Structure 1
Amino acid sequence: MKSSKTTTTNRITSGIANGIVAARWAIIALFIAVIAIAGYYITQFRIDASADTLLVKDNKLYIRTQVANEVFSPDEFILLAYQPKDHTLFSNTTFNDINALSEDIRKLERVKAVTSILTVPLVDDASALTGGTDVSSLTWQQQKYSPETMKSLVSGHPIFTDLLINREETATAIQIVFQENAELREIEKEITDIQSGLLDGELTDEQQARIETLKAKADPIRQALTSQRKKEIQQIEEITDQVSERADTYLGGSYVVGQHLIDIIKSDLKIFGTAIGVVIALLLALLYRSWKWVFFPLLACSVSVIITMGLFGMLDMRTTVISANFIALQLILTLAVMIHLIGSYRDIARKESQYSQKERVTETLIDKLSPCFYATLTTSVGFGSLIFSGLQPVVDFGWMMLVSMLVTMSVSLLLFPALLCLVPKSEETHEYGFLQSLLERVRRLTLGAPKRVGALCLLVFLACAAGIVRLDVENSFIDYFDTDTQVHQELAFIDQQFGGSTPLDIILSIPDNVQNDELILTADMVNQLQLVQKAVEAFEATGSVTSLVNFTELARDLNNDKPLTEYELTSIYHLLDKQVVNQLVGAYFSGENEQLRISVRIQDTTEGLDRETFVSQLKQDLNTVGLSEQEYSLTNLFILYQDILSRLFDSQVKTLGIVYVVLGLVLLAIFRSVKVALIALVPNVLTTLGILGIIGWLGIPLDIMTITIAAIAMGIAVDDTIHFLHAWLAGADRNPETSEAQSASKHAFGHTGLAILFTTTIIAIGFSLFGFSDFLPSVYFGLLTATAMLMALITDTTLLPALLTLFVTKRRSQDNSA
């Protein structure tokens, strides 16, 4: 006999189902209006690959970096490397090519300066600097030095090596400096000035509001600048084509990488979104052999994506490196709900062929409305846990997927049944016999030997989970891209040949006792800088290191290896500062702020690079050479990226802990049984731990993409658990002639088993397509999610029924017989 709660629930479900069918025309009209509005806003959908999308809101390290950039004002630039093919680097062919490239690049609209070994002053005697010589005349452009002279002047240069020429002297580089946008510069300066207050305390509500206003004002300028930069990259690549027969060229720079990243994300969205759609269509046609079961799922998936993208455009929720795969996720999540609805409809149509189309749809909703709603709810819990990760892109991804799930649920449970009512009823094809036979064998195995099946499943998944101890968060941004891609080759070449690709700045405070108003450089300052610079250079991963020390080395080289006086060094610094320094490597001294800057670039391709160990050891070494933590700060991209990596593992633990607890509470609310909720939780916990273990065993680094796999696997896999468990419990009392376990297992495997199998097959194959991406985080994301789905299929069809047989339906049967 059914309980009063069950009867009440059924009555509510029946009322909602009848209401949806009765309001079908209103629902269709509403969705047409929503799609029209979404279509308008979809043009405002944006992809954002900027650095701050990877950071926690109000990240103090980021603010310190911005403050340092305001003080020392390093220029925005692109590095264009030139590597001769069949001629030597120091040759007239090289000089002519570099000169021609530089002349064409100077014509670009935003270009402020073009610097190369042909445009910098080259001297071999200190008297040229201290004797009133016009430094600007001592360049190849003015003097037309011979290749031999150029080689003697440039080789081993303390400033230009690793910047304009590599150490092996096989490649040279052109630095292209761009004019900054004055309006954007002022806005960013004001934002930084306000945010710097976070370094000492909290911001007021008025300050936060002002920051938001400034960001909104800056946004269209940044959007225009992004478009301009893309155009500039294309123009530079076209210019370099003129030397392609004689040399290989490589572009480097932060926004070059950012643009490549945006291009790859857009390409993946277009290519893999389309590919997944095609695969879905083919698999649906193969599994159901009916055009309507291809058309309706694809229509639902398309409508879900259009509405979601329109909402993101309207709400200005921008996709980032992580959330770029939301389209593929939403396609598959929508499809998962659709397959369960279609499976129920086909089952009802075969059993109750006399029903009208409206009756078939109504009965389908009565059967599947609750489990589909619960499954969507629990999936949302999985994604919602990402909001608490502490990593901004992961947080944004969590919010975006919550919006996506709301749209998916609305389209699947409202629009699909409303449209289905308009289709004439027809006879449904039978399911494939071999698939039903396979599921029947699994059912008998779990029913006949639940302890052995459960034990074996637990052992296998615990063995997988053991790989968690091997999880590593160390990663390299270069390794995000496939080795065959242009961006990987460019990053690797610049990284290896021109002193590294990831900037790290050491900002030193000048002690009062070493300052001198008349001197830029005092002996104490130089000694301190030399000690620090030698400490940094001692690391294997250290590439280019530049500071005022480099000018002292240049002066010493020019003075027959004898040091110059403090006054002579100050004179040289002023001369070179105006001619070279600001164009090449930014400033290194701020008298107003009483700070010195050491510019370091880290070589990301260094084998075995451990960023956490690097930073820790660097701090120890700085302390050894006499610097306290109050006397310096570490800033720029290397530190910011290390901060992200350091948060990953803690974020993963926190995310999983939250999702386990919240999901357990939701399952308890759904099934109103602690025992059933815990049993439902077990296969999903094992799936998430198992997939993390596989990541560890395979040596795949935990990064901002793979960190989401466990929560996504939990969110998607729990769908099948809910449907299977709901069918199991509903079938327990259906056949009084058999035991509860027998009746429940037949209903669960027969009613939802095929739907689960179909869902998993389509999802696994769909996600596997990401294996062909050039963006390795997407490759891992796709293949690992597909693996997680297969693992979930195994646990839901073996461990789950075994546990239910042992601890739920079997005991019920014993209680009834008593």
Structure 2
Amino acid sequence: MIKLAPFFVKHRIYFAFGLLIIAGLSVPGMFHLNITVDIQDYFLADDPAIASQEAYNRIFPGGDFVGVLVQGQDVFSTESLELLRLLGIRLEEALPESGEAASLATISGSLTGGVKVVFDGGRLESSPEEVEVWRKAVSASPMLNGLFFSSDYKEAWVILPLSGAAAEADIFETGEKAWDALEGIDAGDMVITPAGIPIFAYRKQVELMADLIRVLLFGAVAAVLLSSVILRSFRGVIGTLSVFVFSVITVLGGQGWAGVSVDNAFMAVPILLIMGVSIGYAVHVHRFFHIGLVAGETRIQAAVSALEHTLRPIFYTAVTTVAALLSFLFVNIKPIRWVGYTSALGILTAFLFSVLFFPAILVIGKQTGRNEGFKRKKLTEAIFKRVRSILEIHEKAVLLVFLLVTAISVVGILKLRVDFDAIKMMGTRLPHMQDQLRISDSKIGVGEYMNLVIVLPDGDFKSADSIMLMAELENRLLEIDGITRVRSVTGVLAELNSLLHGRRPEYSNLPGNPVSLEALVRLLDGVLPGERQNWLDNSYTQARFLVEISDFSSRKIERIIAQSEEAAADVFPAGSSAQFSGSTYLVALMNQYITHGLIRSVATALIIISLIMVLVFRSLRWGLIAMIPNVFPVLIAGAVLGFAGIPLEFVTMTVAPIILGLAVDDTIHFMSFLKEDMSGHHDYELSLQRSFNAVGTAITETTLILCITFLVFLVSRINSIRYMGVIAAVGMAAAYFADLLITPILVRFLTRRRS
């Protein structure tokens, strides 16, 4: 591979132009990237959960809505009712294909014994006395009280169910139309909170993109400052930034042309990873290029010399990092896979630009006699001399501390828990998360919910027995900790029963007479056909329950699902089945995918990187010894997560393989030089000194670069991105100290054994 260095430098113009052409063709592709935040896009196309969700949607179509939660002192006041009417009109105008919005201002007189309020356009015509009579009639409806408005009259909903073209349209387009229609409305003393999956999806997309831009801007500033301070060369800085920018454009632009879907919550991870690696590779190449210039070589000779020293180790570090990142393909979550293969492609692209394009930038210009800063060189030599002294005098103490910290880390890892909690993961810094919390904390709002479908292949939900079993299951579900409310067709039937009997209190529940109950079921299709279709399929063999949950924790939701399935099996006869669907259910499935995926990902990365290390050093002993200081930072990162109580989820689960893939880079550079130098004179202490002087500064600088790169994540407003940045920075720092303190001791032990 070293023999390729003169060839690469000799034909640098061709390689540079070829790479620039590829990057240029990729630029338009950047504008074709498909951005998505839909939870269903997290799953693979052949995932059984998606098939189950699609089957549910065919049986119970619709369900999506856009709406507004209105909160004030009295939602039955004239100002509130007129506001409710205005909000409904705005939504209807924005999405005319969906029909009429439902709210207190539009309640049919059939539900209130003929009593209703009258509007002239958006102005309330009914007198206060008439409104008060109507309030009492509405409050007597169990289907409206507590659902459309709160029992204390301080909260009310405006709901526009999506139908027709709006139900089939792009979810973000629908959300944008509804959001724009509601902006600028003067709510007076009341608080209005737009809601519905389309609105939250649109807002999440916009806010995450703004957060991504914020992180990348800080990352760009960090890249310029780092390369300027460390390289202290105009050509070096321009070349390094070019490697980073062109690598990102090539990879993301290529994906845009390929029609790849990207979740913008994850986009910063591969981009900043490519930035850190690009600067790291440039530091190694530039350092040996600088050494060549100091030795009196021409710029072209120095470029050849730099590649001869760095091509092989950079290649192997790229391969090991790519191997660790591709282990994400074992996780059945599409964004995690995207992070894996996108980062891997980015690392390979950065490698190509670093060895083929970067030298072409360095050789430009006149020959100058450059001298390395005397003070800087003396300082670094003094620091590494002190490190060697510590290793000689306190070898046993260093090993003891290493083993103690490792043992403590194992304890911390045992405290790790897999848990996707939207609030803990996203945090509350983003406005749409603040609104989501406001809705879930309200009296009539819904935080998380699942659809539970009971299938009776040999039964019939027209029968009184089946309806009573549904009521029994509702009561059993409400006994489960974490379930706040359960709705089904039984509530609609109870409402119909109350309405038919003039709202008399004794008829507010299901009739006890089986004949009367079955008559209500038959009547339902004629009186409220839409309600029947919401809860029972056309064959009356499948019934839907809406299960509302108070918690956002996927671990707790998993428990609720298990207990609900057990309750359904107890209540309904053998042969029936219980099937869950909905985004909350899909999130709960993520726990299993993350757990199994993380184990397979880390195990695969360990095995592949171990094999690569053995091949790199052409020795089983050297290869296995090289893995010890690289497993250590993974343990440290896991311990920090465990002791801090930070759960493993989509983003934090990526930390371990990333650290493993990056930590091995410095080990390869350090041990490669040490092993090669020892092969010449077999003097370990002299080789250790020469290794520290030759590559010690470079690995210090690359570690500093990666740590600062990851700490840039702290400017994000998303909790999990911030956690990832801190944990990855801690892991890289641990890897650095392990390389400096543990690797030399292990190599010394190996050389003693061989002697």
Q: Normalization by structure 1: what TM-score?
A: 0.85
Q: 1:462 aligns with which of 371, 386, 407?
A: 407
Instruction: State the secondary structure of the residue aligned to 1:158.
Output: coil
Q: Alpha-carbon deviation of 1:678?
A: 0.6
Any idea what SS the aligned residue of 1:601 has?
Answer: strand
Whole-Å separation in 1 of the counterparts to 2:118 and 2:744: 80
TM-aligned CA deviation for residue 308 of structure 1: 1.3
- Aligned partner of residue 590 in structure 1, secondary structure: coil
In the alignment, structure 1 residue 340 sits paired with structure 2 residue 326 = no
Instruction: Name the amino acid aligned to 2:383.
Output: L
Counterpart selection for 2:223 from 255, 280, 286: 280
| 1:691 maps to 2:637 | yes
Question: d(CA) in 2 for partners of 1:316 and 1:655?
Answer: 26
Other-structure match for 2:318 = 376
> Contact (CA 8 Å) 1:717, 1:792: kept in 2 or not?
yes
In structure 2, relative to structure 1, the CA distance for the partners of 1:55 and 1:593 (3 Å cut) is: farther
Tell me the SS of whatever aligns to 2:420: coil
Q: SS in structure 1 opposite 2:186?
A: helix
2:275 aligned residue (327, 331, 335): 331
Separation of aligned partners in 2, 1:362 and 1:723: 18
1:776 counterpart = 2:726: no
Query: Residue 597 in 1 paired to residue 550 in 2?
Result: no
The offset of 1:575, in angstroms, is 5.0
Question: How far did 1:162 drift?
Answer: 5.1
Distance 2:262 2:314 in 1: 27
CA distance in 1: counterparts of 2:704 and 2:357, whole angstroms: 25
1:79 and 2:20 aligned:
no
Deviations along 1:551-570, one digit per CA (max 9) or x if unpaired, are: 12223444322344235523
| Change beyond 3 A, Cα 1:398–1:788 | same
Q: Is the 8 A contact 1:317 1:400 kept in 2?
A: no
For 1:729, the aligned partner's letter is K
Paired letter, 1:620: E
Is 1:574 the counterpart of 2:525 in the alignment? yes
- For residues 540 and 388 of structure 2, what CA distance do their matches in structure 1 show? 74
Cα pair distance change 1:627/1:344, threshold 3 Å: farther
Q: Deviations over 1:88-142 (max 9, x none)?
A: 22211110111122222221145513111221235677xx5xxxxxx7x856659
Name the SS of the counterpart of 1:67 in structure 2.
helix
Task: Kindly state the Cα deviation for residue 17 of structure 1 after the two structures are TM-superposed.
Answer: 0.3
2:355 maps to 413
Cα 1:160–1:66 change in 2 (3 A) is: farther
- TM-aligned CA distance change 1:510 to 1:626, over 3 Å: closer
Shift of 1:627: 4.9
Contact 2:454/2:576 (<8 A) preserved: no
Q: 1:67 to 1:260 in 2, by over 3 A?
A: same
Which residue of 1 is the match for residue 464 of structure 2? 523
Give secondary structure in 2 for the equivalent of 1:249. Answer: strand
1:267 aligns with 2:267: no
Comparing 435-444 and 487-496, the one that deviates more: 435-444
SS at match of 1:251: strand
Read off the aligned partner of 2:40 and give its amino acid letter: D
Deviation at 1:623, TM superposition (A): 2.4
Which AA in structure 2 matches 1:573?
A: L
Partner of 1:192: none
Question: Which amino acid is the alignment partner of residue 581 of structure 1?
Answer: E
| Counterpart for residue 439 of structure 2 | 494
Deviation per residue, 1:256-307 (Å, 9 max, x gap): 3322332233223322112112112223323343333322211211111111
| One-letter amino acid of the structure 2 residue matched with residue 326 of structure 1 | P
Aligned to 2:94: 108
Percent identity over the alignment?
19
AA matched with 2:159:
Q
Q: Deviations over 1:34-67 (max 9, x none)?
A: 1221112222122222222211441112211111
User: Hey, what does 2:165 align to over in structure 1?
Assistant: 181
Q: Distance in 2 between matches of 1:397 and 1:690?
A: 23
Compared with structure 1, are the counterparts of its residues 331 and 246 closer, same or farther at alpha carbon in structure 2 (3 Å cutoff)?
same
Structure 1 residues 455-490: Cα deviation after superposition (integer angstroms, max 9, x where no partner): 312321331232111111123223333323211111
How much has 1:733 moved relative to structure 2? Answer: 4.3
Classify 1:318/1:626 alpha carbon distance in 2 versus 1 (closer, same or farther; 3 Å): closer
Q: CA deviation at 1:369?
A: 0.4
Give, in whole Å, the separation in 2 of the partners of 1:424 and 1:317: 45
Q: Deviations over 1:514-562 (max 9, x none)?
A: 46xxxxx431122011011112222342244221111122234443223
Deviation string, structure 1 residues 157-200 (Cα, Å, up to 9, x no partner) = 43235542245542111112334439x95xxxxxxxxxxxxxxx
The CA deviation at 1:720 is: 1.1
Structure 2: distance between partners of 1:18 and 1:557:
90
| 1:421-460 → structure 2 map (5 Å cutoff) | 421-426=363-368, 427-430=370-373, 431=376, 433-460=378-405
Point out the more displaced range, 680-689 or 438-447: 438-447
Listed as ranges, the matches of 1:12-161 within 5 Å are 12-13=1-2, 15-84=3-72, 87-110=73-96, 112=98, 113-121=100-108, 128=113, 138=116, 144=126, 146-155=130-139, 157-161=141-145
Partner secondary structure for residue 598 of structure 1? strand
* Cα offsets for 1:315-357 (capped at 9, x unmatched): 223322335421111111211211111222223322x1x2110
Cα shift at 1:513? 5.0
Alpha-carbon distance in 1 for matches of 2:151, 2:731: 47
Output the amino acid matched with 1:554. Answer: E
SS state of the match for residue 70, structure 1? Answer: helix
Query: Matched residues in 1 for 2:421 and 2:722: separation?
Result: 16
> For 1:671-686, what aligned pairs fall within 5 Å after superposition?
671-686=617-632
Equivalent position of 1:503 in the other structure: 449
Q: Distance in 1 between matches of 2:668 and 2:477?
A: 56
Distance, in Å, in 1 between the alignment partners of 2:565 and 2:716 is 39
- Specify whether residues 323 and 280 from structure 1 end up closer, same or farther in structure 2 by C-alpha distance, changes over 3 A only: closer
Moved more, 403-412 or 423-432: 423-432
Q: What amino acid does structure 1 have at the position aligned with 2:448?
A: T
- Which residue is equivalent to 1:803? 746
TM-score when normalising by structure 2:
0.91
Q: Which runs of 5+ in 2 are unaligned?
A: none
Aligned partners of 2:58, 2:311: CA distance in 1, in Å?
Answer: 57
Partners of 1:326 and 1:161 in 2: CA distance: 50
**1:762, CA displacement in angstroms?**
1.9
CA contact (8 A) 1:472 1:696 kept: yes
Q: Does 1:367 align with 2:309?
A: yes
Change (3 A) 1:494 1:800: same
1:534 equivalent to 2:475? Answer: yes
Q: Give the conservation status (yes or no) of the 8 Å contact 2:62–2:162.
A: no
Corresponding letter in the other structure for 2:292 = I
> How many Å apart are 1:383 and its aligned residue?
0.2
Query: How many residues are matched?
Result: 733
Q: For residues 542 and 473 of structure 2, what CA distance do their matches in structure 1 show?
A: 14
Residue 115 of structure 1 contacts residue 176 of structure 1 at CA under 8 Å; is this kept in 2? Answer: yes
Q: 1: CA distance between counterparts of 2:321 and 2:217?
A: 24
2:631 corresponds to 1:647: no
The answer to whether the 8 Å contact 1:348/1:363 transfers is: yes
1:131 corresponding residue in structure 2: none
The change in CA–CA distance for 1:324 and 1:295 in structure 2 (over 3 A counts) is closer
| Map of 1:210 onto structure 2 | none
Q: Distance in 2 between matches of 1:656 and 1:124?
A: 59
**Rounded Cα–Cα distance in structure 2 between residues aligned with 1:281 and 1:629:** 66
- Aligned partner of 1:552 in structure 2 is 493
**Offset at residue 80 of structure 1 (A):** 1.0
Q: Secondary structure at the match of 1:250?
A: strand
CA contact (8 A) 2:175 2:200 kept: no
**Cα pair 2:480 2:563 within 8 Å, conserved:** no
3-state SS of paired residue (1:107): helix
User: Which amino acid counterpart does residue 116 of structure 1 have in structure 2?
Assistant: S
